[in-house]
Structures are given as structure tokens and as C-alpha cells.
């Protein structure tokens, strides 16, 4: 896809969904912090611990995807998994 300076409505929507989720989560944490600061801190600490546990796997997966894209030609992927191979 070539960027021509104009985004379609779908592209704008897809780009803004993550930002909307982030704002909603931050607003929820702000509200919860006013209700119960200690429990909010515990929740954030648990979230950080979970992220730290998952982070090595995410890095490894992204590295493998990058290597796969760098060394396997798109034509080979299409030949094995495309419509001509009976997958679609």
C-alpha cells in the first residue's frame, strides 16, 4: 500500500482503537486510585509482574517473525499456504 497522504475511515478507526483503549484504561485506573489507592497499586504491580514474565516470549516471537520475513521469500509462502495450495 502506498501512502498518498489520505487515510480512509477504516484506517483512521484502526489506528485510533488502541489509543481509545489506552485512554479508557488510564481513566479506569485514575477512578480506582481515588476509590482505593492501595488496591490500585497492588493491581499495577501485578500487571507489571505479568508483563515482565511475558516479555521474553514476546521478544522471541517478534525476533522469529522478523527472521522468517527476512529469509523466506513471499512467493514461497504463497505457494505453500496460498489459494493455489488449497488453503483458501
- What are the CA-CA distances from residue 42 to residues 33, 36, 45, 50, 73 (Å)? 11, 10, 5, 12, 47
- What are the CA-CA distances from residue 11 to residues 15, 42, 61, 77, 78 (Å)? 6, 37, 26, 26, 25
As a whole number of angstroms, the distance between CA 72 and CA 80 comes to: 12
Pairs from 47-52 (Cβ < 8 Å, separation ≥ 24) = none
Does this model's pTM top 0.75? My answer is no
pLDDT tens digits for the chain (88 residues)?
Answer: 555 667 777 877 888 888 999 999 999 999 999 999 999 999 999 999 999 999 999 999 999 999 999 999 988 888 888 777 776 6
Amino acid at each position: 500500500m502506498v501512502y498518498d497522504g489520505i487515510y480512509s475511515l477504516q484506517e483512521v478507526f484502526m489506528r485510533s482503537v488502541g489509543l481509545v483503549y489506552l485512554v479508557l484504561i488510564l481513566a479506569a485506573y485514575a477512578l480506582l486510585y481515588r476509590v482505593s489507592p492501595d488496591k490500585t497499586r497492588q493491581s499495577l504491580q501485578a500487571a507489571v509482574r505479568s508483563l515482565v514474565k511475558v516479555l521474553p516470549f514476546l521478544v522471541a516471537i517478534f525476533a522469529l517473525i522478523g527472521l522468517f520475513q527476512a529469509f523466506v521469500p513471499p512467493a514461497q509462502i504463497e505457494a505453500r499456504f496460498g489459494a493455489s495450495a488449497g488453503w483458501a
